[in-house]
Protein backbone atom coordinates (compact mmCIF):
# COMPACT_ATOMS: atom_id res chain seq x y z
CA UNK A 1 0.00 0.00 0.00
CA UNK A 2 1.33 3.43 -0.83
CA UNK A 3 0.98 6.72 0.95
CA UNK A 4 3.43 8.62 3.09
CA UNK A 5 3.64 8.04 6.82
CA UNK A 6 4.22 10.52 9.61
CA UNK A 7 7.82 11.61 10.12
CA UNK A 8 8.90 9.09 12.72
CA UNK A 9 7.67 6.08 10.85
CA UNK A 10 8.89 7.45 7.50
CA UNK A 11 12.41 7.69 8.89
CA UNK A 12 12.11 4.23 10.39
CA UNK A 13 10.90 2.62 7.20
CA UNK A 14 13.59 4.38 5.21
CA UNK A 15 16.12 2.73 7.48
CA UNK A 16 14.31 -0.59 6.94
CA UNK A 17 13.96 -0.93 10.70
CA UNK A 18 11.05 -3.14 11.61
CA UNK A 19 8.51 -0.82 13.24
CA UNK A 20 7.05 -3.47 15.47
CA UNK A 21 3.53 -2.20 15.86
CA UNK A 22 3.02 -1.52 12.16
CA UNK A 23 4.67 -4.82 11.30
CA UNK A 24 2.31 -6.57 13.68
CA UNK A 25 -0.74 -4.87 12.24
CA UNK A 26 0.20 -5.71 8.70
CA UNK A 27 2.22 -8.89 8.78
CA UNK A 28 1.97 -10.98 11.88
CA UNK A 29 -1.81 -10.79 12.25
CA UNK A 30 -2.51 -13.47 9.64
CA UNK A 31 -0.25 -15.93 11.40
CA UNK A 32 -2.19 -15.53 14.63
CA UNK A 33 -5.12 -17.41 13.08
CA UNK A 34 -5.45 -21.19 13.38
CA UNK A 35 -7.16 -21.26 10.01
CA UNK A 36 -4.03 -19.93 8.35
CA UNK A 37 -1.81 -22.37 10.23
CA UNK A 38 -4.08 -25.21 9.13
CA UNK A 39 -3.72 -24.13 5.49
CA UNK A 40 0.02 -24.52 5.77
CA UNK A 41 -0.25 -27.77 7.76
CA UNK A 42 -2.52 -29.16 5.01
CA UNK A 43 0.09 -28.56 2.33
CA UNK A 44 1.22 -32.18 1.89
CA UNK A 45 4.26 -31.38 -0.26
CA UNK A 46 5.51 -28.92 2.35
CA UNK A 47 4.75 -31.24 5.24
CA UNK A 48 6.29 -34.27 3.57
CA UNK A 49 9.51 -32.42 2.76
CA UNK A 50 10.08 -31.20 6.32
CA UNK A 51 8.94 -34.51 7.81
CA UNK A 52 11.37 -36.51 5.68
CA UNK A 53 14.18 -34.02 6.06
CA UNK A 54 13.99 -34.58 9.82
CA UNK A 55 13.19 -38.29 10.06
CA UNK A 56 15.61 -39.33 7.28
CA UNK A 57 18.36 -37.40 9.08
CA UNK A 58 17.82 -38.14 12.75
CA UNK A 59 21.60 -38.06 13.33
CA UNK A 60 21.27 -34.29 13.16
CA UNK A 61 18.65 -34.31 15.92
CA UNK A 62 19.38 -37.17 18.28
CA UNK A 63 20.54 -35.72 21.60
CA UNK A 64 20.97 -32.29 20.01
CA UNK A 65 19.56 -28.81 20.68
CA UNK A 66 17.24 -27.23 18.13
CA UNK A 67 15.80 -23.77 17.51
CA UNK A 68 12.57 -23.49 15.49
CA UNK A 69 12.27 -19.93 14.17
CA UNK A 70 8.62 -18.89 13.78
CA UNK A 71 7.20 -22.12 15.16
CA UNK A 72 3.56 -21.27 14.40
CA UNK A 73 1.58 -24.27 15.56
CA UNK A 74 4.80 -25.95 16.75
CA UNK A 75 4.90 -28.76 14.19
CA UNK A 76 8.62 -28.61 13.33
CA UNK A 77 9.54 -28.35 17.00
CA UNK A 78 7.38 -31.39 17.77
CA UNK A 79 8.96 -33.43 14.99
CA UNK A 80 12.44 -32.40 16.10
CA UNK A 81 11.64 -33.64 19.60
CA UNK A 82 10.22 -36.90 18.25
CA UNK A 83 13.42 -37.33 16.22
CA UNK A 84 15.28 -37.41 19.54
CA UNK A 85 16.36 -33.83 20.23
CA UNK A 86 17.50 -33.17 23.81
CA UNK A 87 15.96 -29.70 23.81
CA UNK A 88 13.93 -27.63 21.34
CA UNK A 89 13.36 -23.88 21.59
CA UNK A 90 10.27 -22.94 19.59
CA UNK A 91 10.04 -19.17 19.08
CA UNK A 92 6.81 -17.55 17.89
CA UNK A 93 5.99 -13.82 17.76
CA UNK A 94 2.19 -14.11 17.87
CA UNK A 95 -0.30 -15.53 20.36
CA UNK A 96 -0.21 -18.68 18.22
CA UNK A 97 2.56 -19.58 20.69
CA UNK A 98 -0.16 -20.46 23.23
CA UNK A 99 -1.59 -23.03 20.82
CA UNK A 100 1.88 -24.36 20.12
CA UNK A 101 2.42 -24.78 23.86
CA UNK A 102 -0.89 -26.65 24.20
CA UNK A 103 -0.02 -28.87 21.24
CA UNK A 104 3.39 -29.70 22.70
CA UNK A 105 1.80 -30.63 26.01
CA UNK A 106 -0.96 -32.68 24.36
CA UNK A 107 1.75 -34.65 22.57
CA UNK A 108 3.70 -35.22 25.82
CA UNK A 109 6.76 -33.27 24.76
CA UNK A 110 6.77 -30.41 27.23
CA UNK A 111 9.97 -31.62 28.89
CA UNK A 112 11.78 -31.27 25.56
CA UNK A 113 10.06 -28.41 23.71
CA UNK A 114 10.04 -24.94 25.23
CA UNK A 115 7.74 -22.51 23.41
CA UNK A 116 8.84 -18.90 23.71
CA UNK A 117 6.61 -16.02 22.69
CA UNK A 118 8.58 -13.16 21.21
CA UNK A 119 10.42 -11.99 18.15
CA UNK A 120 13.69 -13.62 17.20
CA UNK A 121 15.43 -10.26 17.46
CA UNK A 122 14.45 -9.94 21.12
CA UNK A 123 14.34 -13.36 22.77
CA UNK A 124 17.12 -14.82 24.88
CA UNK A 125 17.98 -18.52 24.84
CA UNK A 126 19.97 -20.25 27.59
CA UNK A 127 22.36 -21.82 25.09
CA UNK A 128 23.46 -22.01 21.49
CA UNK A 129 21.92 -24.73 19.31
CA UNK A 130 23.01 -27.51 16.96
CA UNK A 131 20.17 -27.04 14.48
CA UNK A 132 18.10 -24.11 13.33
CA UNK A 133 14.94 -25.27 11.58
CA UNK A 134 12.42 -22.91 10.06
CA UNK A 135 9.76 -22.73 7.43
CA UNK A 136 10.41 -19.12 6.45
CA UNK A 137 9.77 -19.10 2.73
CA UNK A 138 7.25 -16.61 1.35
CA UNK A 139 5.79 -16.32 -2.13
CA UNK A 140 8.68 -16.41 -4.64
CA UNK A 141 10.90 -17.18 -1.63
CA UNK A 142 11.61 -13.72 -0.27
CA UNK A 143 8.21 -12.07 0.05
CA UNK A 144 7.54 -11.29 3.75
CA UNK A 145 11.30 -11.10 4.36
CA UNK A 146 11.10 -13.65 7.18
CA UNK A 147 14.58 -14.87 6.30
CA UNK A 148 15.95 -11.80 8.08
CA UNK A 149 14.77 -13.35 11.35
CA UNK A 150 16.41 -16.67 10.47
CA UNK A 151 19.72 -14.90 9.76
CA UNK A 152 19.42 -13.06 13.07
CA UNK A 153 18.75 -16.37 14.86
CA UNK A 154 21.71 -18.02 13.15
CA UNK A 155 24.13 -15.21 13.96
CA UNK A 156 23.05 -15.14 17.62
CA UNK A 157 22.31 -18.77 18.44
CA UNK A 158 23.83 -21.32 16.02
CA UNK A 159 26.94 -23.16 17.21
CA UNK A 160 29.94 -22.93 14.87
CA UNK A 161 29.29 -26.60 14.03
CA UNK A 162 25.52 -26.15 13.63
CA UNK A 163 23.32 -26.97 10.63
CA UNK A 164 20.50 -25.06 8.95
CA UNK A 165 17.21 -26.71 7.97
CA UNK A 166 16.82 -25.99 5.06
CA UNK A 167 20.46 -25.50 4.09
CA UNK A 168 19.99 -23.95 0.65
CA UNK A 169 17.40 -22.02 -1.33
CA UNK A 170 17.08 -21.02 -4.96
CA UNK A 171 14.81 -18.70 -6.93
CA UNK A 172 13.77 -19.72 -10.46
CA UNK A 173 12.25 -17.81 -13.38
CA UNK A 174 10.82 -19.06 -16.65
CA UNK A 175 8.90 -17.58 -19.59
CA UNK A 176 5.22 -18.56 -19.51
CA UNK A 177 1.95 -18.36 -21.35
CA UNK A 178 -1.23 -17.49 -19.45
CA UNK A 179 -4.79 -16.30 -20.04
CA UNK A 180 -4.60 -14.10 -16.95
CA UNK A 181 -3.00 -11.23 -18.86
CA UNK A 182 -6.02 -10.86 -21.13
CA UNK A 183 -8.30 -10.96 -18.11
CA UNK A 184 -6.42 -8.28 -16.26
CA UNK A 185 -6.19 -6.11 -19.36
CA UNK A 186 -9.98 -6.33 -19.74
CA UNK A 187 -10.47 -5.53 -16.08
CA UNK A 188 -8.23 -2.49 -16.38
CA UNK A 189 -9.98 -1.23 -19.51
CA UNK A 190 -13.39 -1.79 -17.93
CA UNK A 191 -12.26 0.18 -14.93
CA UNK A 192 -11.16 3.10 -17.13
CA UNK A 193 -14.43 3.02 -19.13
CA UNK A 194 -16.23 3.17 -15.82
CA UNK A 195 -14.08 6.11 -14.76
CA UNK A 196 -15.05 8.07 -17.84
CA UNK A 197 -18.76 7.50 -17.22
CA UNK A 198 -18.23 8.51 -13.62
CA UNK A 199 -16.51 11.73 -14.70
CA UNK A 200 -19.36 12.61 -17.07
CA UNK A 201 -21.97 12.05 -14.37
CA UNK A 202 -20.05 13.98 -11.74
CA UNK A 203 -19.75 16.95 -14.11
CA UNK A 204 -23.40 16.75 -15.20
CA UNK A 205 -25.07 16.22 -11.83
CA UNK A 206 -22.63 17.75 -9.38
CA UNK A 207 -20.75 20.41 -11.33
CA UNK A 208 -17.29 19.10 -10.47
CA UNK A 209 -14.63 18.41 -13.09
CA UNK A 210 -12.70 15.25 -12.12
CA UNK A 211 -10.49 15.09 -15.22
CA UNK A 212 -7.36 16.17 -13.36
CA UNK A 213 -7.62 12.84 -11.49
CA UNK A 214 -7.74 10.69 -14.64
CA UNK A 215 -3.97 10.29 -14.82
CA UNK A 216 -3.42 9.31 -11.15
CA UNK A 217 -6.50 7.06 -11.23
CA UNK A 218 -5.25 5.31 -14.34
CA UNK A 219 -1.80 4.87 -12.76
CA UNK A 220 -3.34 3.43 -9.62
CA UNK A 221 -5.50 1.03 -11.65
CA UNK A 222 -2.58 0.10 -13.90
CA UNK A 223 -0.51 -0.74 -10.88
CA UNK A 224 -3.34 -2.80 -9.43
CA UNK A 225 -4.39 -4.71 -12.57
CA UNK A 226 -1.30 -4.83 -14.76
CA UNK A 227 1.77 -4.33 -12.63
CA UNK A 228 1.08 -6.42 -9.56
CA UNK A 229 2.33 -9.97 -9.65
CA UNK A 230 -0.31 -12.65 -9.17
CA UNK A 231 -0.47 -15.86 -7.25
CA UNK A 232 -1.16 -18.67 -9.70
CA UNK A 233 -0.94 -22.42 -9.87
CA UNK A 234 0.79 -22.84 -13.23
CA UNK A 235 0.37 -25.99 -15.26
CA UNK A 236 3.78 -27.27 -16.46
CA UNK A 237 2.58 -26.82 -20.06
CA UNK A 238 2.39 -23.09 -19.41
CA UNK A 239 6.16 -22.95 -19.06
CA UNK A 240 7.21 -22.19 -22.64
CA UNK A 241 10.99 -21.93 -22.28
CA UNK A 242 13.96 -23.03 -20.24
CA UNK A 243 13.90 -22.00 -16.60
CA UNK A 244 16.84 -20.24 -14.96
CA UNK A 245 18.13 -19.76 -11.43
CA UNK A 246 18.17 -16.06 -10.49
CA UNK A 247 19.36 -16.43 -6.89
CA UNK A 248 21.16 -19.00 -4.81
CA UNK A 249 21.28 -18.80 -1.04
CA UNK A 250 23.52 -20.73 1.34
CA UNK A 251 21.52 -20.45 4.55
CA UNK A 252 24.66 -20.94 6.62
CA UNK A 253 26.45 -17.88 5.25
CA UNK A 254 23.88 -15.53 3.67
CA UNK A 255 23.66 -12.01 5.11
CA UNK A 256 20.76 -9.57 5.04
CA UNK A 257 22.79 -7.50 2.56
CA UNK A 258 22.90 -10.54 0.23
CA UNK A 259 19.13 -10.70 0.04
CA UNK A 260 18.23 -7.00 0.10
CA UNK A 261 18.53 -6.95 -3.63
CA UNK A 262 18.40 -9.77 -6.16
CA UNK A 263 19.96 -9.07 -9.55
CA UNK A 264 20.46 -11.53 -12.35
CA UNK A 265 20.80 -11.76 -16.10
CA UNK A 266 20.00 -15.04 -17.79
CA UNK A 267 19.13 -16.57 -21.13
CA UNK A 268 16.09 -18.62 -21.91
CA UNK A 269 15.26 -20.60 -25.03
CA UNK A 270 11.65 -20.90 -26.07
CA UNK A 271 10.70 -24.59 -26.27
CA UNK A 272 7.16 -24.36 -27.67
CA UNK A 273 6.05 -23.69 -31.24
CA UNK A 274 3.99 -20.64 -32.14
CA UNK A 275 3.02 -19.48 -28.71
CA UNK A 276 2.69 -16.26 -26.73
CA UNK A 277 5.18 -14.99 -24.23
CA UNK A 278 2.61 -13.69 -21.73
CA UNK A 279 5.09 -13.05 -18.96
CA UNK A 280 7.34 -14.75 -16.47
CA UNK A 281 6.68 -17.21 -13.69
CA UNK A 282 8.76 -17.23 -10.52
CA UNK A 283 9.11 -19.97 -7.92
CA UNK A 284 11.69 -21.40 -5.52
CA UNK A 285 13.09 -24.59 -4.11
CA UNK A 286 14.90 -25.37 -0.88
CA UNK A 287 17.19 -28.25 -0.03
CA UNK A 288 18.07 -30.00 3.19
CA UNK A 289 21.72 -30.99 2.73
CA UNK A 290 23.17 -30.37 6.18
CA UNK A 291 26.69 -28.91 6.02
CA UNK A 292 29.88 -30.09 4.35
CA UNK A 293 31.40 -31.29 7.62
CA UNK A 294 28.11 -32.84 8.76
CA UNK A 295 26.03 -33.67 5.71
CA UNK A 296 22.51 -35.04 5.53
CA UNK A 297 22.30 -38.82 5.25
CA UNK A 298 19.46 -38.25 2.78
CA UNK A 299 19.15 -34.99 0.89
CA UNK A 300 15.56 -33.78 0.65
CA UNK A 301 14.23 -31.24 -1.84
CA UNK A 302 11.13 -29.07 -1.48
CA UNK A 303 10.28 -27.51 -4.84
CA UNK A 304 7.44 -25.19 -5.78
CA UNK A 305 7.99 -25.52 -9.55
CA UNK A 306 4.84 -25.85 -11.68
CA UNK A 307 3.49 -29.34 -11.14
CA UNK A 308 0.28 -31.24 -11.78
CA UNK A 309 0.35 -33.49 -8.72
CA UNK A 310 2.74 -31.74 -6.34
CA UNK A 311 1.55 -28.18 -6.22
CA UNK A 312 1.92 -26.26 -2.98
CA UNK A 313 0.11 -23.41 -1.25
CA UNK A 314 2.91 -21.14 -2.52
CA UNK A 315 1.85 -21.62 -6.15
CA UNK A 316 4.05 -19.47 -8.35
CA UNK A 317 4.24 -15.71 -8.79
CA UNK A 318 3.25 -14.55 -12.25
CA UNK A 319 4.47 -11.30 -13.85
CA UNK A 320 2.36 -10.49 -16.90
CA UNK A 321 3.33 -8.54 -20.01
CA UNK A 322 0.99 -6.21 -21.81
CA UNK A 323 0.76 -6.96 -24.65
CA UNK A 324 2.08 -10.53 -24.88
CA UNK A 325 4.69 -11.27 -27.56
CA UNK A 326 4.42 -13.97 -30.22
CA UNK A 327 7.40 -16.34 -29.97
CA UNK A 328 8.29 -19.79 -31.22
CA UNK A 329 10.67 -22.65 -30.54
CA UNK A 330 14.37 -21.63 -30.45
CA UNK A 331 13.66 -17.93 -30.08
CA UNK A 332 16.19 -16.71 -27.52
CA UNK A 333 15.42 -14.40 -24.60
CA UNK A 334 18.07 -12.31 -22.85
CA UNK A 335 16.51 -11.39 -19.54
CA UNK A 336 17.60 -9.05 -16.76
CA UNK A 337 15.83 -9.53 -13.48
CA UNK A 338 15.95 -7.49 -10.29
CA UNK A 339 14.00 -7.59 -7.05
CA UNK A 340 14.35 -5.32 -4.03
CA UNK A 341 12.36 -4.27 -1.00
CA UNK A 342 9.79 -1.53 -1.24
CA UNK A 343 10.84 1.61 0.67
CA UNK A 344 7.32 1.90 2.07
CA UNK A 345 7.13 -1.63 3.44
CA UNK A 346 10.15 -3.91 3.70
CA UNK A 347 7.95 -6.97 3.49
CA UNK A 348 6.82 -6.08 -0.06
CA UNK A 349 8.97 -6.27 -3.18
CA UNK A 350 9.56 -4.30 -6.34
CA UNK A 351 10.54 -6.42 -9.32
CA UNK A 352 11.88 -5.45 -12.72
CA UNK A 353 12.17 -7.54 -15.90
CA UNK A 354 14.13 -6.36 -18.92
CA UNK A 355 13.97 -8.55 -22.02
CA UNK A 356 15.61 -8.77 -25.44
CA UNK A 357 14.20 -11.32 -27.87
CA UNK A 358 16.17 -12.75 -30.79
CA UNK A 359 14.03 -14.86 -33.06
CA UNK A 360 15.60 -18.04 -34.37
CA UNK A 361 15.65 -16.33 -37.79
CA UNK A 362 18.11 -13.86 -36.28
CA UNK A 363 15.62 -10.96 -36.22
CA UNK A 364 15.69 -8.82 -33.08
CA UNK A 365 12.34 -7.82 -31.56
CA UNK A 366 12.03 -4.50 -29.70
CA UNK A 367 13.31 -4.90 -26.16
CA UNK A 368 11.13 -4.05 -23.17
CA UNK A 369 11.48 -3.31 -19.47
CA UNK A 370 8.61 -3.75 -17.02
CA UNK A 371 8.25 -2.94 -13.36
CA UNK A 372 6.10 -5.02 -11.02
CA UNK A 373 4.98 -5.01 -7.40
CA UNK A 374 4.97 -8.20 -5.38
CA UNK A 375 2.42 -7.65 -2.64
Active site residues: 135, 144
Task: Write down the least CB distance from residue 1 to its own copies, Å.
Answer: 4
Q: Out of 20, 159, 185, 358, which residue is the one contacting its own copies (CB under 8 A)? A: 20
Site for its own copies in 147-206 (CB under 8 A): 191, 195, 198, 202, 205-206
Query: Residue 94, interface with its own copies (CB under 8 A)?
Result: yes
Query: Residue 25, interface with its own copies (CB under 8 A)?
Result: yes
**C-alpha to C-alpha distances, 262 to 196, 246, 255, 341, nearest whole angstrom:** 40, 8, 13, 10
Query: Residue 78, interface with its own copies (CB under 8 A)?
Result: yes
Q: What b/e sequence results for 180-213 when a residue is b if at least 16 CB atoms lie within 10 Å of its CB, and e otherwise?
A: ebeebbeebeebeeebeeebeeeeeeeeeebeee
**Three-state secondary-structure class, residue 76:** helix
Query: Residue 359, interface with its own copies (CB under 8 A)?
Result: no
Reported as half-sphere exposure (CB side, CA atoms, 13 A), residue 123 has a value of 26
Task: Write down the least CB distance from residue 330 to its own copies, Å.
Answer: 43
Beta carbons within 8 Å of 44's beta carbon, 6+ residues apart: none
Q: Out of 17, 107, 189, 261, which residue is the one contacting its own copies (CB under 8 A)? A: 107
Chain centre distance of CA 289: 21
Name which of 76, 64, 127, 138 is nearest 316 in CA terms.
Answer: 138
Site for its own copies in 211-230 (CB under 8 A): 211-213, 216-217, 220-221, 224
**86 DSSP 8-state letter:** S
Total number of residues binding its own copies (CB under 8 A)? 59
CB 272, CB 329: distance < 8 Å: yes
Number of H helices, E strands in the chain: 11, 15
**228 DSSP 8-state letter:** B
Query: Residue 124, interface with its own copies (CB under 8 A)?
Result: no
> What is the greatest pairwise CA distance in the chain?
78
Comparison of 106 and 245: residue with beta carbon closer to its own copies: 106
Query: Residue 57, interface with its own copies (CB under 8 A)?
Result: no
Comparison of 197 and 361: residue with beta carbon closer to its own copies: 197
Q: How far apart are CA 218 and CA 162, in angstroms?
A: 52
Task: Write down the least CB distance from residue 96 to its own copies, Å.
Answer: 8
Query: Residue 11, interface with its own copies (CB under 8 A)?
Result: no
Site for its own copies in 328-357 (CB under 8 A): none
Task: Write down the least CB distance from residue 67 to its own copies, Å.
Answer: 19
Chain positions contacting its own copies, by CB under 8 A = 1-6, 8-9, 19-22, 24-26, 28-29, 32-35, 38, 41-42, 44, 47, 51, 73, 75, 78-79, 82, 94-96, 99, 102-103, 105-107, 191, 195, 198, 202, 205-213, 216-217, 220-221, 224
Amino acid sequence: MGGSLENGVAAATAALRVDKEVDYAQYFCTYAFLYHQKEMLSDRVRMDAYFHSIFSNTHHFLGKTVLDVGTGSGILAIWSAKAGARKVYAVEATKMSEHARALVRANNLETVVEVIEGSMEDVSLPEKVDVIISEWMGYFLLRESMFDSVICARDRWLKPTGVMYPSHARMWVAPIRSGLGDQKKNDYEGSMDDWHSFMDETKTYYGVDMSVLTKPFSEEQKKYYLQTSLWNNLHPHQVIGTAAIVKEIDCLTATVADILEVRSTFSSLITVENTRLCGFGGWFDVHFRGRREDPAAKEIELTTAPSIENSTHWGQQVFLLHPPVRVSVEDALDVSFSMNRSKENHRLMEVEFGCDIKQCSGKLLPSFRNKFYLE
